[in-house]
A and B are shown apart, each in its own frame.
Chain A
Amino acid sequence: MTATAPQALATLPLADDALILSHRLGEWAGHAPVLEEEMALANIALDLLGQARALYAGLAEVLGGEDEIAFLREERAFRNCQLVEQPNGDFAHTMVRQLFFSAYQQPLYARLSPVLPLAAKAASETAYHRDHAEQWTLRLGDGTEESHARTQRAADALWRYTGELFQPVEGLDVAWQELAEEWHADIRDVFGRAGLTVPEGPSEGAWSAGAGRQGLHTEPFGRLLAEMQHLHRSHPGATW
């Protein structure tokens, strides 16, 4: 990434996506349905946090240190998509959110690997995240009546946040339309095998005029930031 004005911040949306989803997954610690998922969810959260930190390091000249970027920006300065800030809900909700996101993040990183040093490693990490989410979508969609209903409900609720993923990010040279088509084909395939219905209707939320990528977020995001930033902001200038 060259350091020209819009391009200098081109990776900020990717970094914020990774940080915020990592934070949400961290909320599961001690609450997961089985011990193996305590491990898996923490693993994904740690991968995402690692990606965010690596990307923030690349933005240091423009935005400052990683903690300044994470803890001292106001809500409107965050460029993450609205999907990743959505609350965890039940396990099905968390897994469908992960599938929707990882099925987007993985091919995006793969496309960026020639120009973004971190992307190749991140693409292989996110392939595991996508696979993990796919396996659970299949289990939950196919498992019991209850798990099927919960998973369908999650998909229906989260669908409106998926359109935003494919809005072009300034400075990232990606064939967004092609990425969107690939994503839809992937989701149709997984949902087909899971016996789930791909939702119809708008894939963009109330803030469709740009939304998260332009700094317009949903109500739960303010509380997320309040919790995440509170301690850091309570001790201005302190080192930890």
Chain B
Amino acid sequence: MTPVTSPPRGHGAGEGVSGTPDPAARGRAADPEAERSLQAAFDAAVAADERIEPRDWMPDAYRSTLVRQIAQHAHSEIIGMQPEANWITRAPSLRRKAILMAKVQDEAGHGLYLYGAAETLGTGRDELLDKLHTGRQKYSSIFNYPTLTWADVGAIGWLVDGAAITNQVPLCRCSYGPYARAMVRICKEESFHQRQGYELLLALARGTEAQRAMAQDAVDRWWWPSLMMFGPPDDESAHSAQSMAWKIKRHSNDELRQRFVDICVPQAEALGLTLPDPELRWNEERGHWDFGAIDWQEFREVLKGNGPCNEQRLNQRRAAHENGAWVREAAAAHAAKQAARAAQGAASAPRTARS
């Protein structure tokens, strides 16, 4: 996607004297009159489907909403590595091992793009990681479920990545440029992962009786949590309306959930697996699949921290960070020493030349 170049709306209005972007100041304008005109320019840009870029003026709430959403997305990528990495050392063929390692690596890469996108809004990776580690920011609740068998790797690819793509494809048109562009790349890779997951399940479904049972069991466990990935129903969704007005979000939770169900039903049929919902039936009038009621109590419990793996996931993340502290300190110390040596070398160089 080519970035939509927009005129530098309000460029400089809230920046430091030097012209260096000061994220804290950029959301404010000097006086109410200027603020109104910046707001008007921003609103016009959003209405015209232009991209808002890092140096453009934007409302504080728009900035903080984006940081919260992008951070949560980035955290989901890096926490999401865990349930799948759980199977790297046990992958049953070398081909599957290579695919799985590459997938988990892609997730780390997605984390990097997304932390980078958040950084363009003035919030650095360290700060966001700290919020994750201290429980002040969340990640997608789906990763609080365990991967108990090899088939779970396929179910995650097919259903979890499938739901993520349904959620994320519209984000490629999100009003904030860096996020939209990161999403283009992420969605391409995610759709690859989704096909690989489907293909993994297909191999199991066409395999031995034990393999087929493994695949069905995984789908039974991942189906409902995947539907919960779209978030609470529209009438209970706290941030939806404003995000839609800002074109950060383009479709409602329920709309996207329905789209996902409609995509999955024929795919499950092609796999020869059943979806664990006796109320699934085609509704001619709506032109959509009807589905049963979601257990929102379970969703709230997992969100609150009471899922099967909440503690385990966060503990592993914290441990990786804490165990890596001496490595990061060493890298910083080495860089500082190198800089000092270079400075010393530069200072002593003329003397050497004279002598």
Contact in complex: B89, A67 (CB < 8 Å): no
Total interface residues on B, using CB and 8 Å? Answer: 51
Complex: A42 Cα to B281 Cα, angstroms: 43
Minimum distance in angstroms from B312 CB to a CB of chain A:
11
Contact in complex: A23, B89 (CB < 8 Å): yes
A142 at interface, CB cutoff 8 A: yes
Closest-by-CB residue of A relative to B341 is: A142
B92 at interface, CB cutoff 8 A: yes
A33 at interface, CB cutoff 8 A: yes
Contact in complex: B326, A46 (CB < 8 Å): no
Contact in complex: B89, A143 (CB < 8 Å): no
Of the candidates B78, B92, B112, B316, which one forms a contact with A36 in the assembled complex, judged by CB atoms under 8 Å apart? B112
A2 at interface, CB cutoff 8 A: no
Given known contacts A42-B108, A231-B92, A138 and B334 CB-to-CB distance under 8 angstroms:
yes
B17 at interface, CB cutoff 8 A: no
Of the candidates B89, B211, B332, which one forms a contact with A27 in the assembled complex, judged by CB atoms under 8 Å apart? B89
Complex: A228 Cα to B100 Cα, angstroms: 14
Per-residue CB contact flags for chain A residues 204-240 toward chain B (1 = under 8 Å, else 0) read 0000000000000000000000011011100101111
Given known contacts A53-B94, A227-B90, A29 and B101 CB-to-CB distance under 8 angstroms:
yes
Contact in complex: A32, B98 (CB < 8 Å): no
Minimum distance in angstroms from A165 CB to a CB of chain B:
24
Contact in complex: A39, B104 (CB < 8 Å): no
Per-residue CB contact flags for chain B residues 327-339 toward chain A (1 = under 8 Å, else 0) read 1111111110100
Complex: A90 Cα to B330 Cα, angstroms: 14
Contact in complex: A33, B324 (CB < 8 Å): yes
The secondary structure that dominates the B interface is helix
Complex: A34 Cα to B260 Cα, angstroms: 34
Question: Would you list which residues of chain A between 41 and 87 have a CB under 8 Å from chain B?
Answer: 42-43, 45-46, 49-50, 52-53, 56, 66-67, 70-71
A35 at interface, CB cutoff 8 A: yes
Contact in complex: A49, B93 (CB < 8 Å): no
Of the candidates B150, B203, B330, which one forms a contact with A147 in the assembled complex, judged by CB atoms under 8 Å apart? B330
Given known contacts A33-B320, A42-B108, A49 and B94 CB-to-CB distance under 8 angstroms:
yes
- List of 3 A-B pairs having minimum Cβ-Cβ separation, nearest first: A33-B324, A143-B330, A147-B330
A146 at interface, CB cutoff 8 A: yes
Contact in complex: A144, B329 (CB < 8 Å): yes
Closest-by-CB residue of A relative to B319 is: A31
Question: Would you list which residues of chain B between 308 and 332 have a CB under 8 Å from chain A?
Answer: 316, 319-321, 323-332
Contact in complex: B207, A26 (CB < 8 Å): no
Of the candidates A30, A49, A139, which one forms a contact with B334 in the assembled complex, judged by CB atoms under 8 Å apart? A139
Minimum distance in angstroms from A191 CB to a CB of chain B:
15
Contact in complex: A146, B331 (CB < 8 Å): no
Contact in complex: B102, A46 (CB < 8 Å): yes
Contact in complex: A33, B323 (CB < 8 Å): yes
Residues of A within 8 A of B81 (CB): 29-30, 38
Complex: A36 Cα to B334 Cα, angstroms: 17
Residues of A within 8 A of B91 (CB): 231
Per-residue CB contact flags for chain A residues 121-150 toward chain B (1 = under 8 Å, else 0) read 000000000000000001110111011001
Interface centre among A19, A23, A70, A240, by most chain B C-beta atoms within 10 angstroms, is: A240
Contact in complex: B327, A46 (CB < 8 Å): no
Closest-by-CB residue of A relative to B332 is: A143
Given known contacts A30-B82, A32-B324, A143 and B105 CB-to-CB distance under 8 angstroms:
no
Minimum distance in angstroms from A142 CB to a CB of chain B:
5
Residues of A within 8 A of B92 (CB): 67, 71, 231-232, 235, 238, 240
Complex: A171 Cα to B337 Cα, angstroms: 47
A-B contact pairs, 6 of them (CB 8 A): A38-B105, A92-B327, A147-B327, A147-B333, A231-B92, A240-B93
Minimum distance in angstroms from A60 CB to a CB of chain B:
13
Complex: A166 Cα to B150 Cα, angstroms: 39
Contact in complex: B90, A33 (CB < 8 Å): no
Chain A residues at the B interface, C-beta cutoff of 8 Å: 19, 23, 26-27, 29-36, 38-39, 42-43, 45-46, 49-50, 52-53, 56, 66-67, 70-71, 90-92, 138-140, 142-144, 146-147, 150, 227-228, 230-232, 235, 237-240
Of the candidates A42, A50, A235, which one forms a contact with B105 in the assembled complex, judged by CB atoms under 8 Å apart? A42
Residues of A within 8 A of B125 (CB): 35
B146 at interface, CB cutoff 8 A: no
Of the candidates B95, B208, B326, which one forms a contact with A238 in the assembled complex, judged by CB atoms under 8 Å apart? B208
Contact in complex: A26, B105 (CB < 8 Å): no
Per-residue CB contact flags for chain B residues 203-228 toward chain A (1 = under 8 Å, else 0) read 11001101100000000000000000
Residues of A within 8 A of B325 (CB): 33
Minimum distance in angstroms from B184 CB to a CB of chain A:
20
Contact in complex: A30, B327 (CB < 8 Å): no
Per-residue CB contact flags for chain B residues 76-97 toward chain A (1 = under 8 Å, else 0) read 0010011001001111111111
Minimum distance in angstroms from B87 CB to a CB of chain A:
9
B122 at interface, CB cutoff 8 A: no
Of the candidates B200, B210, B320, B331, which one forms a contact with A235 in the assembled complex, judged by CB atoms under 8 Å apart? B210
Contact in complex: B88, A29 (CB < 8 Å): yes
Minimum distance in angstroms from A154 CB to a CB of chain B:
13
Minimum distance in angstroms from A135 CB to a CB of chain B:
10
Contact in complex: B208, A235 (CB < 8 Å): yes
Complex: A150 Cα to B325 Cα, angstroms: 13
Complex: A21 Cα to B89 Cα, angstroms: 12
Residues of B within 8 A of A31 (CB): 316, 319-320, 323
Contact in complex: A144, B333 (CB < 8 Å): yes
